[in-house]
Amino acid sequence: MDPVIEVEGLRKEYLRVRGRRTVAVDGLDLAVPQGGVFGFLGPNGAGKTTTIRCLLGLVRPSGGRCRLLGQEPAGLYRVIARVGSIVESPTMYPRFSGRRNLELLGRISGIGRARVAEALEEVDLAERADDQVKTYSLGMKQRLGIAGALLKDPEVLILDEPANGLDPAGIVEVRELMRRLGRDGRTVFVSSHILGEVQQTADRVAILARGRSVAVGPVQEVLSAGHAAGLLVRLDDVLAGLRILGEAGIEARVDDGVLKVGLPPAEAARVTRTLADGGLYLTELRADEADLETVFLELTDGATRGKSR
């Protein structure tokens, strides 16, 4: 099955004053399969929004190609009815009601009022739908933007930082919505810097740094690319534990009341034996697994340092 989103060697340069060039995307390759949630991660300035703008035909690539549902930007009009999107903060007319804003958009594709009402219901905005958008909170505006993206009942949903401005309850709602849409067989392509959110939602991720992809694949695969971080040991007297391990030549440090031991999980028995020999009995021992945030920081930091050399 063809990927829903294909990016090959995508490059985008911006010409700045005095002829200087800024490279926003630098030879990016990406393939997003159909169905599920795909997380597109990267620090600010990594090129996430520029890539999305290229996919949606808003920005012309300086090199490479990108295709959405098999169409390059010039042919995007053939598939745009199957694509819902939010690019950065969704812009709506502040003096119009939320409903009227969506009706104006829907009219472009011949979408009627009933579907507008459904989309508002989906993002829990039905009660405030007839209020002016300027009275909405940031989170409500974001939800209205998501309703706009859902209006076409799209096969592909491209969401650029959809959790921006949302309160914790709103974040959970958006997460649930993305999961549900992904389970329904739609493809949700979501860029975010809230790594925990993506880890809980996405099936696959791509991590971007300086306009290049530094890791891509299923979430668990990308997580395993993180360094084995050792062992976490909890015991009543951490300082005594630190001393005993040190005397045994085992590298360790105290971090937030827990001993972080520099041995791989396979050597857990050595730690328990050493501590028991010293008269200390641990209350918890577990592998210090890397989370997406750790992997993200390692990869993006590495890419940044590599580039600055």
For 290, the 3-state DSSP assignment is coil
- Give the nearer residue to another protein in terms of CB position, either 53 or 212: 53
* Contact call for residue 258 and another protein (CB under 8 A): no
d(CA 215, CA 174) in angstroms, rounded, equals: 25
Inter-helix orientation angle 98-108/113-122, to 10°: 130
- Give the nearer residue to another protein in terms of CB position, either 154 or 230: 154
* Contact call for residue 73 and another protein (CB under 8 A): yes
CA 96 to each of CA 93, 101, 104, 130, 182: distance values in angstroms, whole numbers, following the listed order? 6, 6, 10, 9, 31
Other CB atoms within 10 A of residue 139 CB? 18
Among 2-10, 39-47, 54-62, 289-297, which window interacts with another protein (CB under 8 A)? 54-62
* Contact call for residue 91 and another protein (CB under 8 A): yes
Instruction: Write down the least CB distance from residue 96 to another protein, Å.
Output: 7
Inter-helix orientation angle 98-108/138-150, to 10°: 30
Instruction: Write down the least CB distance from residue 83 to another protein, Å.
Output: 8
* Contact call for residue 60 and another protein (CB under 8 A): yes
Instruction: Write down the least CB distance from residue 51 to another protein, Å.
Output: 13
* Contact call for residue 77 and another protein (CB under 8 A): yes
d(CA 285, CA 7) in angstroms, rounded, equals: 44
- Give the nearer residue to another protein in terms of CB position, either 73 or 170: 73
- Span between the terminal Cα atoms of the chain, in Å: 40
Instruction: Write down the least CB distance from residue 99 to another protein, Å.
Output: 13
Among 79-87, 213-221, 277-285, 293-301, which window interacts with another protein (CB under 8 A)? 79-87
- Scanning the structure block, which residue is given the tokens 């903060």? 89
- Identify the residue among 28, 56, 177, 285 touching another protein (CB under 8 A): 56
Upper half-sphere CA count for residue 66 (Cβ side, 13 Å): 28
* Interacting residues with another protein between 117 and 176 (CB under 8 A): 148
- Give the nearer residue to another protein in terms of CB position, either 48 or 204: 48
- Identify the residue among 36, 39, 42, 90 touching another protein (CB under 8 A): 90
Instruction: Write down the least CB distance from residue 54 to another protein, Å.
Output: 9
- Identify the residue among 23, 31, 76, 229 touching another protein (CB under 8 A): 76
Write 124-129 long-range contacts (CB < 8 A, 24+).
124/173, 125/98, 128/98, 129/97, 129/98, 129/99
CA 273 to each of CA 25, 149, 269, 289: distance values in angstroms, whole numbers, following the listed order? 52, 58, 6, 22
* Contact call for residue 15 and another protein (CB under 8 A): no
d(CA 173, CA 163) in angstroms, rounded, equals: 10
CA 228 to each of CA 7, 223, 262, 290: distance values in angstroms, whole numbers, following the listed order? 31, 10, 9, 7
Among 55-63, 114-122, 198-206, 270-278, which window interacts with another protein (CB under 8 A)? 55-63
Rounded to the nearest 10°, the torsion over CA 304, 88, 158, 11 is -40
Among 25-33, 51-59, 201-209, 263-271, which window interacts with another protein (CB under 8 A)? 51-59
Residues that bind another protein (CB under 8 A): 53, 56-60, 73, 76-77, 80, 83, 85, 87-93, 95-96, 100, 104-105, 107-110, 148
